[in-house]
Amino acid sequence: MDNYQAPLRDFRFLLEDVFDANQLWERLPGMSGVSTDFVRTVLEEGARIASRELAPINHSGDREGCEWADGTVTTPQGFRQAFTALGEGGWLSMNGNPDYGGQGLPKMLTVLIEEMFYSANTSLFLYGTLTAGAAYCIESHGTEAVKRRYLPPLYDGRWGGAMAMTEPQAGSDLGLIRTRAEPQADGTYRVKGTKLYLTGGEHDLTENIIHLVLARLPDAPAGTRGLSMFLVPKFLVDERGALGRRNKLRSLSIEHKMGINGSATSLMEYDEATGWLVGEPHQGLATMFTMMNYERLSVGMQGLGLSAIAVQSAGAYAQQRLQGRAPAGPVHPDESADPITAHPDVRRMLLVQRALVEGGRAFAILVGRELDLVRYADDDDEREQAAAFVGLLTPVAKAFLTDRGLDCCVLAQQVFGGAGFIVETGVEQFVRDCRIAQIYEGTNGIQAQDLIGRKVLRDGGATLSAFVDRLRAELPRDARHYAATTAEFDRLIAVTADLIERCEQDPNLAGAIATDFLELFGYTVYAWLWARMDACAGADEFGQAKRYTAQFYFDRVLPRADALVRGIRADSNALMAVPDAMF
Amino acid sequence: MDNYQAPLRDFRFLLEDVFDANQLWERLPGMSGVSTDFVRTVLEEGARIASRELAPINHSGDREGCEWADGTVTTPQGFRQAFTALGEGGWLSMNGNPDYGGQGLPKMLTVLIEEMFYSANTSLFLYGTLTAGAAYCIESHGTEAVKRRYLPPLYDGRWGGAMAMTEPQAGSDLGLIRTRAEPQADGTYRVKGTKLYLTGGEHDLTENIIHLVLARLPDAPAGTRGLSMFLVPKFLVDERGALGRRNKLRSLSIEHKMGINGSATSLMEYDEATGWLVGEPHQGLATMFTMMNYERLSVGMQGLGLSAIAVQSAGAYAQQRLQGRAPAGPVHPDESADPITAHPDVRRMLLVQRALVEGGRAFAILVGRELDLVRYADDDDEREQAAAFVGLLTPVAKAFLTDRGLDCCVLAQQVFGGAGFIVETGVEQFVRDCRIAQIYEGTNGIQAQDLIGRKVLRDGGATLSAFVDRLRAELPRDARHYAATTAEFDRLIAVTADLIERCEQDPNLAGAIATDFLELFGYTVYAWLWARMDACAGADEFGQAKRYTAQFYFDRVLPRADALVRGIRADSNALMAVPDAMF
């Protein structure tokens, strides 16, 4: 199961045929160096790294796990070498700012690199994700001096990054954070507090680790409006970037977890650690959200990447596992039995996975496109519109890709039968590694409330409508699934309008239907993606498989939207009325 | 998380108010000693054993796992003592034949004992399940001498049982079994072959282990019609029941698994082991199915038991975890935040779990009732009808209780947020322990094909119709959810009639829709169960919670049936047309 074949054919189909990315890159000022050939080369090189450097130490990394001793953390064998290779190859600065040594590649491309790296080795790549996220936050909010000092070593993987938000009493509710920061005469701050669940908070992969810590200044108001963000390096850094003394932060322990065992999750103590304010005082949550939104899409890619390798493994297994006979008579009468791909129920499992994984991949590129427009479009209106779409799509990318990701990993495991439960087969690790993605970086329930509350109700559905209009305009009227897709759009718009009205009457309704609404949105957008993929598919075997999978999506997966709509029409009375003590 | 509170109040509500079990027990000849008071006492004593003996070693058993060395297996600390307590307390012979020392308790009661024991410690109780299953098979097919010799020590837990079916090349397709049995002059057989995935095939809990092995006689036809069943004890047993020499079978290794780590899963070698034929030659599959059907319901109870303790844990956590504020304003303005039960999306997760767990528990009692009728009714027609209903319901109990069981465990874990991913919290173990239940004793896909093929299409839907008629007759017309429930029944009957016709035209259709059909059947029967529970609920807080949960089931869970019906209406063309090589 250390075998991984990157879906390069599907990547090319999506970028070149479905999204015509080249046309976009040609018109965006910052993207002029990006061409189809260049992108193919980058994807092929990423695939090589994923298969040869990351995948071979994925299973061993899970078995070995990380070891904590006296505040230091030892990562599994091979992790340091592979992380160094990622850094040196420029894979941690794919989206980084070229002014400071970043690659400045389009997000439409880099989401696919992320998918491959998560498929190959989620635990290892998570260190990179946090590093790239911290760099992005510093790039967006740091002073010029801070950027010059911190970005290059983060970009090339000599240093790592970490995000310190959660505390024992403050998880989803960051307003309860207690960590404090005292200003010093020299302009630095003394940061004091305990933080939980730091992915990559301590490890042996890099010379230094840059922590971004949410804390309260002495004059801070209560709640989330009193949080500020501080850059707290493991080793202090002088003006020329050289490492100085050890800062006063320490890993108190690492967690024993269900999965991502190669990724060290630290409980951290900041004992008057020296820190620097990043961004404005009391604006820490907004500053941190730069990083969070980056991470949220990335966590979505974790769900997608794990489900992608899971279905690949299941498909390969199903083709060679011989059990029973096809219902319409033997397919291989000369063998002891037919491959289990002959059984309709096995095909159902494989096709549900294909429909969701390939739909999810297309969805990720769609989000990537909007992110590229936010960053590179020279028209203000276009940038603003794209930013609104990114806001709308980010919670869906995080929650829907990870919820469907777990579904697919579980289905893939089911295809293996008894072997799927055995550690050595490898597929059970994908289930365990995927599970956390539904929880961290804001639980999927939080994402759903973000979508319905901030992204839909707040502007009376205007962004949602504009987004649906944009998708409608991009689907040819003669597409096979045009009618079915536009019917879904109409229904989503009607459901939303109805909700806007009902939520005004009932303060609990938005929360009560948030998750179902997010799923309805997801399945509806996937319908458009499958309709487009169907319309763009060629006549070869690959194209045939796309078209049949599209048909399967409309026949067998999209009907889930019916159930969601019926559920959303219910009021919140029964939900809210059950006495608390009965739970 | 070693804390477990048995749902005794719900047990009583279901047995006494919903199913009026006492009335049934009074009229069944073999049940005359069973009374409501007696049943309450048994449940309370079972609850005590579950909480005090089994739950405290559940988490430690997972951490320690089993150890294999040179063919012997060491189970986790405390397992032997607890297993002995189960045996001595009569908990392994609950359903056993009183003529040989069994308790002969009604299945309506013992499914609930099973639920509690699986909740408290699935790994440990699995040794008991296999033991009770082997005893049931011997009781049903053994000669009088064999019964006298083997049943008493199996009933009292001095000996264990195991089931040897799977081989590396023969999983779902038992026709591919290669293990052979050669008849000897003394009437015994020499059994030779390798068997995979034996739960309890080797361990240190009992003096002896009785293996029931599927193998082929020399003159056996190919396929499943050439299988015979052999009793192969670890230690040979003389006529007075004393243990003799070690038999030639050996555990070659135990599996490293995703979960149920306290349950040793052996790869076994039978190297001309001495065995005795049980049942008729070449009828081994039918003989084994006596045990399999017993195990299938029990595996369903595993799914239910794990989801029951998971939701109990999640509810307790949600009541005390303070994060954020209720959407309609603070519930506890004096605290730093409200308990997360104030958030509608958290309530949604808890109520989905309640609706499925309590519905599942009611479903299990429904199956138990039919099993009691099969065993104890004195009317031939009633017994025959009940046997047909058991056949119809068994695959649903196995698959639906375990699929929904995993859903609920995952949802419970989600309620815990980040803590849910941490091993010490304990809920992640429920997810891992539940996952195998969807796979073993016939994958859930196999169950679905059994339901649609053997149980529905084969008799043209007659048993299904009779079953639905029976349920209709048992729901008062003035019940609140009468109309909604009967509408679901009508739809299920219509979908079935339509399927019977379409399956004649398309050999792939039954397999293509099997899983969706099983789920449709499950959600429809749960509608009836919730309608009945609603009708029987009292005016107290417990009754209120039942009624609101029933409303929630009809509002928010049952709509899934809409999606299933729409999916079932699709043909199998797209599913079958995807080229195999594309998987």
Per-residue pLDDT tens digits for B364-378: 999 999 999 999 999
Token couple for B166: 């799977």
Quick check: A347 and B575 CB within 8 A? yes
Percentage of chain B beyond pLDDT 70 is 100
| ipTM exceeding 0.90, yes/no | yes
Nearest Cβ partner of B350 from A169, A418, A583? A583
> Which residues of A fall within a CB distance of 8 Å from B448?
345
The one-letter amino acid at A264: A
Q: List CB contacts (< 8 A) between B336 and chain A.
A: 169, 176
Contacting residues of A for B583, CB less than 8 Å apart: 314-316, 318-319, 341, 350, 354
Report the residue of chain A nearest B255, measured CA to CA. A422
Contacts of B427 in chain A (CB under 8 A): none
- Cβ atoms of B126 and B201 within 8 Å: the answer is no
Looking at residue A2, its pLDDT comes to 57
Average pLDDT over residues A96-113: 96
Q: Do B328 and A508 touch (CB under 8 A)?
A: yes
Asked if B577 and A548 come within 8 Å (Cβ–Cβ), the reply is yes
Nearest CB neighbour to B327, from listed A258, A511, A580: A511
How much is the average pLDDT of A86-103? 96
Predicted pLDDT at B2: 57
Asked if B413's CB is within 8 angstroms of A512's CB, the reply is no
- pLDDT-derived band at A231 (thresholds 50, 70, 90) equals very high
For residue A30, the model assigns a pLDDT of 84
Identify the three-state secondary structure at position A235.
strand
Determine the average pLDDT of the residues in B480-509: 98
Contacts of A448 in chain B (CB under 8 A): 345
The neighbouring-strand residues paired with B235 are B246
Residues 6+ apart with CB under 8 A from B158: B87, B206, B207, B208
Average pLDDT over residues A148-156: 97
CA distance B96 to chain A (A): 29
Strand partners, A195: A268
Interhelix angle A427-435/B427-435, nearest 10 degrees: 150
Q: Tens of pLDDT along B21-64?
A: 999 999 998 888 899 999 999 999 999 999 999 999 999 999 99
Who's near A380: CB < 8 A, 6+ residues apart? Answer: none
Q: Compute the average pLDDT of residues A350-362.
A: 98
Q: What is the pLDDT of residue A397?
A: 98
Which residues of chain A lie closer than 8 angstroms to B436, CB-CB? 421
Give which of A196, A357, A495, A575 to mutate to test B binding, by max B Cβ within 10 Å: A575
Neighbours of A60 (CB within 10 A): 14
- Nearest-Cα distance to chain A for B398, in Å, is 15
A324 contacts B579? CB cut-off 8 A = no
Q: Which two tokens stand for residue B385?
A: 């009808």
Mean pLDDT value of segment A228-232: 98
Q: What is the pLDDT of residues A432-486, one digit of tens each?
A: 999 999 999 999 999 999 999 999 999 999 999 999 999 999 999 999 999 999 9
Q: Determine the residue of chain B that is closest to A573 in CA distance.
A: B548
Q: Which of B318, B337, B445 sits opposite A583 (nearest CB)?
A: B318
- pLDDT tens figures, A498-546: 999 999 999 999 999 999 999 999 999 999 999 999 999 999 999 999 9
Give SS3 for A240: coil
Bridge pairing between strands A208-215 and B180-183:
unpaired
DSSP classification of residue A32: T
User: Tens of pLDDT along B322-374?
Assistant: 999 999 999 999 999 999 999 999 999 999 999 999 999 999 999 999 999 99
Mean pLDDT, chain A, rounded, equals 96
In this structure, are strands B208-215 and B159-164 parallel, antiparallel, or unpaired?
A: parallel
Residue of A nearest to B197 (CA): A418
Query: Residue B249: helix, strand or coil by DSSP?
Result: strand
Residues of B tagged active-site:
441
pLDDT tens-digit series, residues B78-111: 999 999 999 999 999 999 999 999 999 999 999 9
The mean pLDDT value for B126-143 works out to 96
pLDDT digits (tens, 9 = 90+) for B509-544: 999 999 999 999 999 999 999 999 999 999 999 999
Give me the pLDDT at residue B32, please: 80
Nearest to A515 among B345, B422, B424 (CB): B345
Which of A199, A224, A299, A348 to probe the B interface (max B CBs under 10 A)? Answer: A348
Q: Do A556 and B570 touch (CB under 8 A)?
A: yes
Q: Which of B344, B515, B556 sits opposite A567 (nearest CB)?
A: B556
pLDDT mean over A348-369: 98
Residues of B in contact with A253 (CB under 8 A): none
**CA torsion A10→A12→A14→A16, rounded to 10°?**
-160
Report the gap between the CA of B460 and the closest CA in chain A (Å): 18
Q: Which residues in chain B have Cβ-Cβ distances shorter than 8 Å to A197?
A: 418
Predicted pLDDT at B484: 98
Question: Is A346 close to B176, i.e. CB distance below 8 A?
Answer: no
Q: How many angstroms separate the CA of residue B314 from the nearest CA in chain A?
A: 8
Cβ B431–A258 below 8 Å, yes or no? yes
Contact assignment for B556 to A548 by CB distance below 8 Å: no
Residue A346 has its nearest CB partner, among B349, B445, B559, at B445
A441 classed as catalytic = yes
Does A1 score more than 70 pLDDT? no
| Residue contact A423–B257, C-beta within 8 A | yes
Taking the CA of residue B421 and the nearest CA in chain A, the distance in Å comes to: 6
CA distance A449 to chain B (A): 8
**Cα nearest neighbour of A544 on chain B:** B578
Mutate to test the interface with B, among A347, A398, A523 (most CBs of B within 10 A): A347
- Given an 8 Å threshold on Cβ–Cβ distance, is A414 in contact with B443? yes
| Contact: B172, A324; criterion CB under 8 Å | yes
pLDDT of B159? 98
Q: What angle do CA A192, A193, A194 make, to 5 degrees?
A: 150
| Contact criterion met (CB < 8 Å) for B173 and A552 | no
Task: Work out the average pLDDT over B409-416.
Answer: 98
Structure tokens at B272: 């001309």
Nearest residue in A to B341, CA atom: A580
Nearest CA in chain A to B506: A328
The conformation of residue B478, written as its DSSP 8-state character, comes to T
What are the tens digits of pLDDT across the range B420-464?
A: 999 999 999 999 999 999 999 999 999 999 999 999 999 999 999
Which one of A114, A115, A441, A519 is the catalytic residue?
A: A441
Q: Do A176 and B323 lie within an 8 Å CB cutoff?
A: yes
State the pairing for strand pair A208-215/A159-164: parallel
Give the distance from residue A41's alpha carbon to the nearest chain B alpha carbon, in angstroms.
24
- SS3 for A162? strand
pLDDT tier, B295 (very low <50, low <70, confident <90, very high otherwise) = confident
pLDDT at B418 over 90: yes
Residue B294: the pLDDT is: 78
| Residue to test with chain A: of B122, B163, B309, B347, most A Cβ within 10 A | B347
Considering only CB atoms, which chain A residues are within 8 Å of B563?
Answer: 559-563
Which chain A residue's Cα is nearest to B254?
A422
Contact B508 A327 (CB under 8 A): yes
| Percent over 70 (pLDDT), chain A | 100
Q: Dihedral through CA B192, CA B198, CA B204, CA B205, nearest 10?
A: -120
Whether pTM > 0.90 for this model: the answer is yes
Q: What's the distance, CA B91 to chain centroid?
A: 17
The rounded distance, in Å, linking the Cα atoms of A170 and B134 is 51
| Secondary structure letter of residue A221 according to DSSP | P
How far away is chain A from the Cα of B308, in angstroms, using its nearest Cα? 12
Q: What would the DSSP string read from start to end of B468-534? A: HHHHHHTS-TTSTTHHHHHHHHHHHHHHHHHHHHHHHH-TTHHHHHHHHHHHHHHHHHHHHHHHHHH
Please indicate whether, in this complex, the C-beta atoms of B574 and A552 are within 8 angstroms of each other.
yes
Q: How far is A34 from chain B (nearest CA, A)?
A: 30
